[in-house]
Structure 1
């Protein structure tokens, strides 16, 4: 593995709820998740800024609780002025970590959306130009390559541009094949990319939901896992138990292989992530 901070980073991702009722529910889930003292919570940012208000509210609430927070900042369709306003807003809140992304086009917009940024590397470079080293910048990486990149080589070249623009670390899209992650790290090393690449971990709790997400983002569900999940049908208990064991073994292999931490996509549910956390023996999970 590449040179890393010797202390692994374990972090959690949330998405902004759409209603006040769901926000209240999320506050309870966050309180439960925070009992294991994750390094930080990241908060997603919808296509074309579609969840901007919800992201702000969720981030602001986390900061009022004294919780380290890394807002997602997606640049597609945004102007430099809008991004600068966001950066200043977050600096005023004492935030020093961001997840910088290109983001997806809002549904139905096609290629007609405006803005000053085309790619995430342009956003990273802009953040560095305007704020220096104030923010630790995390970017996305794709063990199975981003579906819009066309080829793995093109995807890796895109990733390298983000690193050269000033990214400090990367978080991967979720995956279930550890070999894909280790292959990505090896290819990065060969190109002189030595930033930490933290695996993104998606608990398996619902087969149809997972299949829908995976089809949309290009993440592969290995055939043997798909077949087993399909075989459980509506048996959610069996789905969750099998899914837990699959992801638990994946995490163990990643950590044993030198991964610099884990970033859990919680889907705003504390139970599945905390069970993994505790079974892995991660700090604070006893």
Structure 2
């Protein structure tokens, strides 16, 4: 007697096409700049919906972000989405940056409140600036017809008074004119499921794209998670225990973990994923391949 066996890693036979987007960050050195463009070159053939470029804390990388986004728009076939925050600038200054993006051919913005500058523990609106992300979204809507993304927090923003208050804030951002939300990274899919239940109960119908962070370094992930309030499941440290010096083994486990997370989300009907690449393409490219994406033929 023979039994047909389809491994879970095999792409679903009738699943809708997967769509992806990638996030990069502005490098601080020439060497890291070369690494960024190697990453962009490696991931461009996967034809993502868009790629986003972050701001540093307090808007510290504004000029570098603008230069990278403008170069992506003019020298690649990718659709760039520039991060824009409320921190450290007046409304007029933020509006000037937004107009500069539009003039450079950039039509997508990720509108965020932003983190306070290094050494400052709590966020305070800039005098004369946009106070919060919903205000920034409304301001961008007056400047040009941008496609505006905003952030969503499956486990709640660290500064939110409650999960319900956080959902109310998401709704304010979407009501102000944002079209899509991108979630903070998470590892427990049940957290995201409960979050989506709250989103639906609030009457929010805009798409929410799950944010996926492949684990390049478990220590780095722990540091990121402590800052943004993401829970590390009790089982997760055991997966990476003893692998600090075993890079290839760590990569294989990280790819399997991220794929299982994406497959569970696919089972719930999600077909779009936003990958936080940390400017390293290998894991993201492997996960996308398992999900069924193939590189486009070279021009």
TM-score (norm 2): 0.88
| Cα pair 2:125 2:131 within 8 Å, conserved | no
Larger radius of gyration: 2
By how many angstroms is 1:159 displaced? 1.0
By how many angstroms is 1:283 displaced? 5.0
C-alpha distance in 2, partners of 1:214/1:127? Answer: 30
Number of residues paired by the alignment? 279
| Cα pair 2:212 2:274 within 8 Å, conserved | yes
C-alpha distance in 1, partners of 2:91/2:255? Answer: 43
Which residue of 282, 285, 290 corresponds with 1:274?
A: 285
C-alpha distance in 1, partners of 2:105/2:21? Answer: 18
1:198 maps to 2:216: no
2:257 alignment partner, SS class: helix
By how many angstroms is 1:201 displaced? 0.6
1:228 alignment partner, SS class: helix
C-alpha distance in 1, partners of 2:290/2:221? Answer: 22
| Cα pair 1:199 1:263 within 8 Å, conserved | yes
CA distance 1:201–1:246, change in 2 (3 Å):
same
Q: What CA deviation, in whole Å up to 9, does each residue of 1:202-245 have, x standing for no partner?
A: 00121111111111111111110123223434333332222211
Give the stretch that moved more between structures: 226-235 or 102-111: 226-235
1:127 alignment partner, SS class: helix
1:114 maps to 2:126: yes
What is the RMSD computed on CA atoms of the aligned residues? 1.9
Structure 2 matches for 1:105-254, cutoff 5 A?
Answer: 105-110=116-121, 114-115=126-127, 116-131=129-144, 134-254=145-265
By how many angstroms is 1:253 displaced? 1.3
1:103 maps to 2:104: no
1:263 alignment partner, SS class: strand
By how many angstroms is 1:256 displaced? 2.5
By how many angstroms is 1:50 displaced? 0.1
By how many angstroms is 1:9 displaced? 3.6
Partner of 2:24: 14
2:278 alignment partner, SS class: coil
Partner of 2:9: none
| Cα pair 1:105 1:113 within 8 Å, conserved | no
Gaps of at least 5 residues in structure 1 are 1-5
Partner of 1:68: 79
1:84 maps to 2:95: yes
Partner of 1:3: none
1:42 maps to 2:52: yes
